[in-house]
A and B are shown apart, each in its own frame.
Chain A
């Protein structure tokens, strides 16, 4: 047995590693730019942020967050792509250069074009009115450069450059000529037939994943990108609410759910059984958000008669001091969310228990027990119950991660700042350090929960052994 546990624990290491890689990679595919979030001015929907000299600031932040580094120890990319593309901090520009690389199949040519164009634009902007290209054309030129997804854009850029030919005013004719020929090259030279050939690049340890995972292994989960506080403290404060909510709702789910399921399975009272079963189905199929909103509207304000004002509104929870003492005092505010969660969960458990008990009910050992003269109660609790409990153990394995994951719907409706909301806010706020930590924690608890369930199988059923 001990050997088995050790083996399972060892196996969890590669699982967690794989999880960390997947989580990390997925986060990089999400839209959004943490560097922009960190440096952007107040930005709400439909509102343009104030302009400001933030170009340098953005670039510094991009580098500070390590976004210019390769993602992983190695990468496999088509030959057409330059692995150094990531070092360009300007997101839209990076995207347009990338599509140009795909379009022309020429990584080096595009990088050369990019270097020449960006310095040309900078020089011309510095010269202002004395530049060899008019302000309007320069704007158009820059815009084309930043959104050049088609060869047509390159042709237009080439045209704009050509009509700007006034060598005595232009600072560096040579620069302009080289830019012209680099654009010509991109337009004219045929795309090679092996541009898609996957090329292997080795980046070594100087990569984003390595940076993050080595910090994590040293126990440093990093700082939240939203408010600069340590990730651990954010999780700690959210976890308090979620654990409190989950513990109560799990207790109130399993404790009435299991006997109710057993009753439904074995009772002879058809009428009672059917009405209970309808109730259970009804509860199970009630959408949680609807039930929660109804309870909230009816029972937290005196709108529908003072007698319905039984529970305080969630705002009162906001005024409570935090800490465990605060949690005990605020149990009234948790009553409605707990009721919502456990009514729904209880119906599910009762259904599971009923089905599993019905399966066992007709087996011969039950008949045997009855034949030996045991009472119905004894047969039920001593023989049927332990055997019917098996699927419950599987469910119990899922309870451990559920303890910390929280219920987003309930937390939003009842305004509880728990883990569900933390996760939601962090994903949409691109606060990846927090997201990674929560997901890894969830992964560890899932593995632990499954191990626990496996061990409980052994304890509950002598036929199961792993050695």
Chain B
């Protein structure tokens, strides 16, 4: 090979590459009309199937494709009819083997249609709940709330009307009968495999009770339903959009259905919504600045501030901070003799500088929370004040609780039931950055009082297992709330303090138990307010966990777009996005 020939090849290849590269480059033009809305999501949702999906991004996308009977209005937060014609007829006083039941009779909108023109019927409702209860379908969260749905009764004379019976003791009885996505039976079970099963039969399913043939039928239906096909190709709901592209790791595109039945009833402005999957924030920001993305949520506080203070960029965008409806707190193991008294736990709370957490770690996008309800909750108790950071107060509280350095080794200790315990703390954190920062902050303060803190970084799954077995000291947790009435039973009632239960702090106060149980059945708003306020006060006093802050969402939206911002996740309502006049 001669030199000439070689260098010709070299230059040839380089030319081809750079020519094509530069030729196809150049900034993208921004769309003039909002035919396409581009939204950034940080991870691939993997499945678009409300029963099976496991990510919040999936729930967001499913909200555009699937419709429930009722859902919360993103602006007013009221529960409004979607597929249902109007409020259900409520009839109480039913009995299901000793469980009190309330019947909700719904009527489905006459105009509601699936994409092939077939009407949405009560059969589709029944199919959706039956498939969720199929023992071989891993519909974990659906199975969780459907335990309160006692039975479903169809009407032979009208295929749009049916009655759903829910457990009357459950505070969200009406919501659980109406707020899940409806699936078209003829799309998801074309062979009618689930037809031969009764709802009650599936509800009471126990292994080994069905004949082998019927068991196999259930297995077959579940195998079909969980195929990737029903999560990425055949994705059918009664909502305004249909799935047109699912490109793993890149993009999920939805297009508006032609002649959609709900036109004029529900907002559905963009012709097409693209969810761009961009994990790295730097990449997402460069795309945002370039104009390839119109909506970006979950911006880190630092970048959010930088964008806002940049005179060029801040003109191109609008910035929103809707509440995230989450509470960050440190779970404390109340069953550990070290933390079995309120004074010690209050001392722990006083060791965390919440102002620093809010101002420095979260750049001001959060507020301190004193107790179990989010400040945006209508039943939030405004009289409680978050515990203030004070090492001196923490020290004196520890003394009150009996912690003294009796053996002069620098570490506080106390004697309980004849046994001496030293106050050493294991702080378990997982990969979340804020949790780790708070752990370091806590360690610094605690060490000023001579308390050694050992920060263990572990997988959250393992931490959770230990928490459920009360085999831990302290670990950060997030409490999610929605704007329905908050059920405190799962996290704070002593009945939930059992292996596998979510009362991982091990909180137990008979008065609080009583109030929490009353809240579940109380209907009167004034009385509810009283109960909620009292329970918050009790928990505030007992301080079973260390309450930290409620963070705010940080949302950047192109200023060419008008958009409804909401307290509901993900903080905006993309269906309402329209081009600014």
Q: Do A and B bind each other?
A: yes
A residues near B (Cβ < 8 Å) are 31-33, 36, 38-54, 56-57, 60-61, 64, 91-92, 139, 142-143, 146-147, 223-224, 226-230, 234, 237-238, 248, 251-252, 255-256, 259, 293, 296-297, 300-303, 309-319, 321-322, 328-332, 334-335, 338, 377, 381, 412-415, 417, 421-422, 425
In the complex, chain B residues whose CB is within 8 Å of the CB of A43: 54, 460-461
Q: Is the interface of A mostly helix, strand, loop or mixed?
A: helix
Quick check: is B192 within 8 A (CB to CB) of the other chain? Answer: no
Quick check: is B33 within 8 A (CB to CB) of the other chain? Answer: no
Between A and B, 27 residue pairs with Cβ closer than 8 Å are A32-B461, A41-B144, A42-B56, A43-B54, A44-B56, A46-B435, A48-B464, A48-B467, A57-B143, A143-B470, A228-B226, A229-B228, A237-B248, A296-B282, A301-B286, A312-B292, A313-B290, A315-B40, A315-B283, A315-B290, A315-B292, A315-B293, A318-B250, A331-B21, A381-B2, A412-B280, A417-B277
**From residue A366, how far is it (CB to closest CB) to chain B in Å?**
17
- Is there contact, CB below 8 Å, between A40 and B490? no
- Is there contact, CB below 8 Å, between A228 and B231? yes
Contact A413:B3 (CB < 8 A) given known A46-B460, A48-B477: no
In the complex, chain A residues whose CB is within 8 Å of the CB of B207: 56
A267 to B460 Cα, complex, angstroms:
59
**From residue A125, how far is it (CB to closest CB) to chain B in Å?**
9
A142 to B226 Cα, complex, angstroms:
34
Interface pick from B339-347, B497-505, B572-580 = B497-505
In the complex, chain B residues whose CB is within 8 Å of the CB of A41: 54, 140-141, 144
Quick check: is B510 within 8 A (CB to CB) of the other chain? Answer: no
- Is there contact, CB below 8 Å, between B498 and A381? no
- Is there contact, CB below 8 Å, between A312 and B232? no
Which B-chain residue is minimally distant from A331 (CB atoms)? B20
**From residue A170, how far is it (CB to closest CB) to chain B in Å?**
20
- Is there contact, CB below 8 Å, between B251 and A318? yes
A147 to B470 Cα, complex, angstroms:
10
A4 to B497 Cα, complex, angstroms:
69
Contact A413:B283 (CB < 8 A) given known A312-B25, A332-B22: yes
Quick check: is B227 within 8 A (CB to CB) of the other chain? Answer: yes
Contact check: which of B9, B430, B501, B502 meets A45 at CB < 8 Å?
B430
Contact check: which of A51, A316, A317 meets B144 at CB < 8 Å?
A51
Interface residues on B, range: 35 or more
A228 to B581 Cα, complex, angstroms:
44
Contact check: which of A54, A146, A302 meets B499 at CB < 8 Å?
A146
Q: Is the interface of B mostly helix, strand, loop or mixed?
A: mixed
Contact check: which of B13, B469, B480 meets A143 at CB < 8 Å?
B469
B residues near A (Cβ < 8 Å) are 1-3, 6-7, 9-10, 13-14, 17-18, 20-28, 38, 40, 44, 46-47, 54-56, 59, 135-136, 138, 140-141, 143-144, 147, 207, 226-228, 231-232, 245, 247-251, 274, 276-280, 282-287, 289-290, 292-293, 328, 430-432, 435, 459-462, 464-465, 467, 469-471, 476-478, 480, 490-491, 496-502, 504
- Is there contact, CB below 8 Å, between B54 and A42? yes
- Is there contact, CB below 8 Å, between B27 and A309? yes
The listed residue with most A CB atoms (<10 A of its CB), out of B23, B56, B143, B147, is: B143
Other A-B pairs, 15, CB within 8 Å; known A32-B461, A313-B290, A313-B292: A39-B140, A40-B54, A42-B56, A42-B59, A46-B477, A52-B141, A146-B499, A227-B231, A248-B17, A251-B17, A302-B290, A318-B274, A332-B25, A415-B283, A421-B249
Which A-chain residue is minimally distant from B45 (CB atoms)? A227
